[in-house]
Amino acid sequence: MDNQLPVPPSARSDKNAREMLRAWAAHGGLHCCLNVDGWGDEERTVRGIILTDLVRHVADALSEAKGWDQAETVQKIWRVFNSELDQPAADPSGKFQTHS
């Protein structure tokens, strides 16, 4: 697929690595595939950690690419995140699909 991002080297070299999520901007919206198995009762905690780590990675990447302040970027993302949780711009749609 064109525009597909590469698998990180550390994920490629770990035989126990598993893909947790993929996200695409397509047809004017966000389209995701999620792997939601593996942590039992801790699944929601793990998802919170994944989202937190993702925000930090985004802030690091924007700092490197655009020179933006990391802490300021995290705060901006956090404000938008909370605003979207309180008053979503759009409701999620689609169906959950499992992989085999």
Strands (DSSP E) found in 27-91? 29-34
Q: For position 1, what pLDDT does the model report?
A: 76
The model's pLDDT over 71-95, given as tens digits with 9 standing for 90+, comes to: 999 999 999 999 999 999 888 777 7
- The helix/strand/coil state of 23 is strand
CA-nearest of 76, 14, 77, 24 to 51 is: 77
Residues 90, 93: Cα–Cα separation, whole Å: 9
- Is residue 95 situated within a structural domain? no
Cβ-count burial 43-71 (b if 16+ within 10 Å, e if not): eeeeeeeeeeeeeeeebeebeeeeeeeee
Structural domains of the chain, count: 1
Q: For position 95, what pLDDT does the model report?
A: 74
The model's pLDDT over 21-77, given as tens digits with 9 standing for 90+, comes to: 899 888 888 888 888 877 889 999 999 999 999 999 999 999 999 999 999 999 999
Parent domain of 50: 39-88
CA dihedral 86, 49, 17, 13 (to 10 degrees): 120
pTM for this predicted structure = 0.82
Position with higher pLDDT, 36 vs 9: 9
Q: For position 90, what pLDDT does the model report?
A: 83
- The helix/strand/coil state of 79 is helix
Q: For position 99, what pLDDT does the model report?
A: 61
- Is residue 4 situated within a structural domain? no
